[in-house]
Amino acid sequence: MKTVQHKTRYRFEQSASGLGAAHKLYIYDEVSAQGKFNWNTWEYEDSETSAKYFRDQLDVIPDGETIELHVNSVGGEVGEGVAIYNLLRQKAGKGSRIIGYVDGMAYSVAMNIVMACDEIHMGLGTSMFLHNPWTIAKGNADQLRSMADQLDELSEASVQLYMSRASGITEDELKQMMKKETMLAPDKCLQYGFCDIVGEKKEDEGDTTKEDDDLSEDLEFDDPKTDDPDDDTKQQIRELQQQLYKQRQINQMLTGLKRPSMQKTFARALEQFTK
């Protein structure tokens, strides 16, 4: 008898990482309240991309521990996705840090879910896709008009969800992008605030090269041997060089702390220290 191997679409696992345990959740399939239909049992399997599944998994994760969400999904049911988004935000409100990884696609409502993360990473070659919600409907004219009104409300809700994280785009521009159905490469997501890191590049590190170079320039001094100063003068010059070097190091550290990622890291370390 031939053994049928089922392809892994999602999984839940825990690993040691950073200051504490990192719990990994995967959405590698369509977001759905109902699982696949099993033709052997003539029943639907439990969905592992449903809001109920995520509620159950989040309930067993201690508050305050890190959660990694990995996404490769074309989207799915709006209601389930929005519920998962809010479940993740509720968990973040209890002290957990949610880190999102777009491993392939984050399309439609899968993109909504990723927006719940405190920090979003996009691998090279990945993409996001946003559009106005759509559905299949049937009924009389009044029922179809009512469905159109409901879709308008869902669109507005999605706009508010995206704008809660967006930083480089206006609400009107976002609505136009949704209307046109827009595919976003990682650099565009970084520009619009829909992700924080592309590969290893962080958004807040993009414009600091010149500033860091200015801070790291070598300080020029006359060679003491050239002018043959006395020993006291040489000692004073050495002490001045050391003081300026220390000040430069302090300036570099303060510049780094201005970056959002460093502020988050510092806050987490301080929190652990004060427990």
Look-up: residue for tokens 């997501």? Answer: 189
CB-based contacts of 185, cutoff 8 Å, min separation 6:
127
Q: 112 near 161, Cβ under 8 Å? A: yes
Mean pLDDT of 117-143: 93
pLDDT of residue 159: 95
Q: Is the pLDDT of residue 78 over 70?
A: yes
Amino acid residing at 37: F
Count the alpha carbons within 13 Å of 135 in the hemisphere toward its beta carbon: 16
Q: Is the pLDDT of residue 44 over 90?
A: no
Tell me the domain boundaries of the chain: 12-203, 209-258
d(CA 185, CA 191): 10
Q: Predicted confidence band at 21 (pLDDT cuts at 50, 70, 90)?
A: low
Look-up: residue for tokens 């785009």? Answer: 169
- Nearest 5°: CA angle at 197, between 191 and 203? 50
Left, alpha or beta for 139 (phi > 0: left; psi -120 to 50: alpha)? left
* Strand, helix or coil for residue 132: coil
Q: Is the pLDDT of residue 235 over 50?
A: yes
pLDDT of residue 207: 45
Q: Is the pLDDT of residue 232 over 80?
A: no
Q: 176 near 155, Cβ under 8 Å? A: no
Q: Is the pLDDT of residue 59 over 70?
A: yes
Cα 94 to Cα 11, 85, 178, 272: the distances in Å are 23, 15, 32, 15
Q: 229 near 182, Cβ under 8 Å? A: no
Higher-scoring residue by pLDDT: 238, 158:
158
- Domain 12-203 sits in CATH at 3.90.226.10
Higher-scoring residue by pLDDT: 11, 185:
185
pLDDT of residue 126: 96
d(CA 250, CA 76): 50
What's the whole-number average pLDDT of the chain? 79
Higher-scoring residue by pLDDT: 79, 253:
79
Q: 168 near 193, Cβ under 8 Å? A: yes
Mean pLDDT of 47-75: 95
As a whole-number percent, the residues of the chain with pLDDT over 90 amount to 56
Q: Is the pLDDT of residue 233 over 70?
A: yes
Q: Predicted confidence band at 131 (pLDDT cuts at 50, 70, 90)?
A: very high
pLDDT of residue 220: 42
Q: Is the pLDDT of residue 179 over 60?
A: yes
Q: Is the pLDDT of residue 263 over 60?
A: no
Q: Is the pLDDT of residue 28 over 80?
A: yes
d(CA 128, CA 61): 28
